[in-house]
Amino acid sequence: MLIDLTASGEELLKQKPKYSGKSVELVATMDSKIVGFLDIELESSPGKICHKKVEGNGMLWDIGVMKEYRKRGIATRLLNEGIGRAKKYGLQRLEAWTVEENAKPFYERYGFTKFYEYHHVRINGREKLRAFDRNGLHIVSLYAHVMPETDLEDIIEKYKPKEVFTCSGFEINVTTRPINKKRSKTEGDHTRAQEKRSHNNR
Ligand X SMILES: CC(C)(COP(=O)(O)OP(=O)(O)OC[C@H]1O[C@@H](n2cnc3c(N)ncnc32)[C@H](O)[C@@H]1OP(=O)(O)O)[C@@H](O)C(=O)NCCC(=O)NCCS
Instruction: Please give the C-alpha separations between residue 155 and each of 8, 98, 132, 161, in angstroms, as whole numbers.
Output: 20, 21, 14, 8
187 DSSP 8-state letter: B
CB 173 to ligand X: min, Å: 19
| Residue 70 C-beta-side C-alpha neighbours within 13 Å | 10
* Site residues (CB under 6 A) for ligand X, limited to 155-184: 182
CB 91 to ligand X: min, Å: 18
CB 133 to ligand X: min, Å: 34
Q: Which of 21, 56, 64, 169 binds ligand X (CB under 6 A)?
A: 64
Q: Which stretch binds ligand X (CB under 6 A): 9-17, 59-67, 82-90, 147-155?
A: 59-67
What DSSP letter does each residue of 49-95 carry, written as one string?
Answer: SSSS--TTEEEEEEEEE-GGG-SSSHHHHHHHHHHHHHHHTT--EEE
What are the residues binding ligand X (CB under 6 A)? Answer: 5, 62-65, 70-76, 98, 100, 102-103, 105-106, 109, 182
